[in-house]
């Protein structure tokens, strides 16, 4: 699964072909920080000339029919960007990334992906919707909801955390209802958004950090807290050690990063009785602890991924298709229309008309150009492209006709009767 420092990065550098003309920028306010220095070092080993750009020194310009960007007053002409954006400048950093994306510049993580991962509630919602195991969690906006939240997550003790936080900040363990109520009340008075989360006793003071690059885990480590501290973060003086990650943990980490739209991510996993639980996903994971614990050249893995993927820029398909007047992408979640369950795909569209469905999401996979005889299931999601007004009309008509069709008797059966 993972490779050591000798086997990755520098080891693969010998004889490997790199596009030395590739212009890479690293968005970071701390050029001397370990993670930034390591990325620069590995890029230079591959013959590249990386540029460290302070995200706070960009100027963004929007005019009629065009957009532009400057850094320190100079044109920003780079092919790929690796973002190391801290929590304190998330809003501005994401604005810069979105601007770069609109200019067609490849980014290791998109602005949308970073925003999803940094809102713990939003991230949990997306993970749970995609059947990725997470601790039971409740969003609390009033102290009168605390007891209900405690019951929902399985009782005391409970973990209480703010929806925006990093490196273990804003995460607390409470053992009584009174303590939990007092803490929630205090946090609410400061304007924080609060989550009450299930406490996983068997994972007390430890978790696993899996470093995902692309679609694979390149390194992993187990983190342990010191003393009575239950938070295992490396920045809170926790210890780290190498760990051989079971396949189910790798799959959970990769799926979590993928559904949040991140190509480079640190996925924190709890070792629960029934398997892995995804605790958090970090879009700017620190490299120091995991490189030291695993012996893997993670920075080299990231640079290798960037150089191999830069030619394939991601696009917002719906935004692109909407450049055609009246056209776009339409999705239909069958769970919201149970009358369609068991019906063939062809029943949703008018006879003698080409079925516009180009994909069907089922069981965490996509079926491209599915057969018109395929029967719909409760968890299916249809993804269509075409003229939106016509698509909506056809689908609405199908929903109205399905109940009646269930009672229709074929002509041959009426004759036999």
Domains and CATH numbers, the chain: 10-116 (3.40.50.20), 136-199 (3.30.1490.20), 317-405 (3.30.70.1450)
28 near 54, Cβ under 8 Å? yes
pLDDT by 10s per residue, the chain, length 417: 444 554 444 444 444 556 778 999 999 999 999 999 999 999 999 999 999 999 999 999 999 889 999 999 999 999 999 999 999 999 999 999 999 999 989 999 999 999 999 999 999 999 998 899 999 999 999 999 999 999 999 999 999 999 887 665 789 999 999 999 999 999 999 999 999 999 999 998 899 999 999 999 999 999 998 766 666 665 556 788 999 999 999 999 999 999 999 999 999 999 999 999 999 999 999 999 999 999 999 999 999 999 999 877 666 666 677 777 888 888 889 999 888 899 998 888 766 666 677 899 998 788 998 988 899 999 999 988 888 888 888 788 777 776 555 444 454 444 454
pLDDT of residue 9: 43
Task: Check: CB of residue 305 under 8 Å from CB of residue 250.
Answer: no
**Strands 216-224, 239-242: pairing kind:** antiparallel
Name the token pair of 195. 């989550």
pLDDT of residue 324: 79
Comparing CA positions, the residue from 77, 73, 15 lying closest to residue 49 is: 77
The answer to whether the peptide bond before residue 250 is cis (omega within 30 degrees of 0) is no
User: Could you tell me which of 197, 221, 223 has the C-alpha nearest to residue 210?
Assistant: 221
pLDDT score for 39:
98
Task: State the pLDDT at residue 106.
Answer: 94
Sheet with 357-362, side-by-side order of all strands: 327-333, 381-387, 357-362, 365-368
Backbone angles phi, psi at 194, to 5 degrees: -120, 140
Kindly state the helix (H) or strand (E) to which residue 118 belongs, with its residue range: helix 111-118
pTM of the full predicted structure? Answer: 0.82
The per-residue b/e assignment along 385-411, b for 16 or more CB within 10 angstroms, e otherwise, is: bbebeebeebbeebeeebeeeeeeeee
pLDDT at 24: 97
The span from the CA of 139 to the CA of 147, in Å, is: 12
CA dist 333 → 98, 182, 217, 384 (Å): 28, 41, 31, 12
> Across the chain, which distance is largest between two alpha carbons, in Å?
86
- Joined tokens for residue 387: 């003229």
State both tokens at 6. 């000798």
Alpha-carbon gap, residue 87 to 25, rounded angstroms = 19
- Can you give the pLDDT at residue 1? 46
Question: Please, what is the end-to-end C-alpha distance for the chain in angstroms?
Answer: 66
């Amino acid at each position: 699964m993972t490779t050591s420092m000798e086997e990755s990065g520098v080891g693969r550098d010998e004889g490997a072909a790199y596009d030395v003309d590739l212009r890479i920028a690293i968005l970071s306010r701390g050029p001397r920080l370990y993670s930034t220095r390591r990325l620069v070092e590995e890029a230079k080993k591959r013959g590249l000339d990386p540029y460290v750009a302070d995200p706070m020194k960009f100027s963004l310009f929007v005019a009629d029919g065009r957009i532009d960007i400057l850094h320190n007053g100079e044109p920003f002409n780079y092919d790929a960007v690796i973002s190391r954006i801290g929590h304190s400048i998330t809003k501005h950093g994401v604005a810069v990334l979105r601007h770069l994306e609109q200019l067609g510049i490849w980014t290791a993580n998109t602005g949308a992906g970073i925003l999803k991962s940094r809102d713990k509630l939003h991230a949990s919602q997306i993970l749970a919707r995609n059947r990725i195991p997470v601790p039971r969690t409740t969003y609390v906006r009033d102290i009168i909801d605390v007891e209900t939240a405690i019951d929902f997550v399985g009782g005391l003790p409970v973990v209480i955390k703010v929806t925006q936080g990093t490196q273990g900040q804003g995460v607390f363990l409470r053992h009584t209802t009174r303590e939990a109520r007092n803490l929630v009340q205090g946090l609410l008075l400061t304007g924080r958004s609060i989550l009450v989360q299930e406490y996983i006793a068997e994972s007390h003071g430890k978790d696993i950090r899996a470093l995902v690059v692309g679609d694979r885990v390149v390194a992993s480590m187990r983190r342990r807290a010191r003393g009575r501290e239950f938070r295992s973060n490396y920045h809170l003086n926790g210890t780290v050690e190498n760990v051989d990650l079971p396949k189910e943990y790798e799959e959970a980490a990769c799926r979590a990063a993928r559904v949040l739209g991140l190509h480079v991510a640190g996925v924190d996993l709890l070792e629960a009785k029934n398997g892995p639980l995804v605790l958090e996903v970090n879009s700017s994971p620190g490299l120091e602890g995991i490189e030291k614990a695993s012996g893997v050249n993670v920075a080299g893995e990231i640079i290798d991924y960037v150089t191999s993927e830069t030619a394939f820029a991601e696009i917002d398909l719906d935004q692109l298709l909407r450049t055609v007047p009246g056209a776009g992408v339409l999705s239909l979640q069958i769970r919201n229309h149970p009358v369609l369950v068991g019906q063939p795909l062809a029943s949703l569209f008018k006879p003698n008309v080409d079925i516009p469905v180009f994909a069907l999401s089922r069981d965490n996979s996509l079926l491209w150009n599915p057969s018109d005889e395929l029967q719909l299931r409760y968890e299916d999601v249809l993804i269509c492209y075409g003229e939106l007004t016509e698509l909506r009309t056809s689908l609405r008509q199908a929903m109205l006709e399905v109940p009646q069709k269930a009672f229709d008797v074929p002509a041959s059966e009426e004759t036999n009767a």
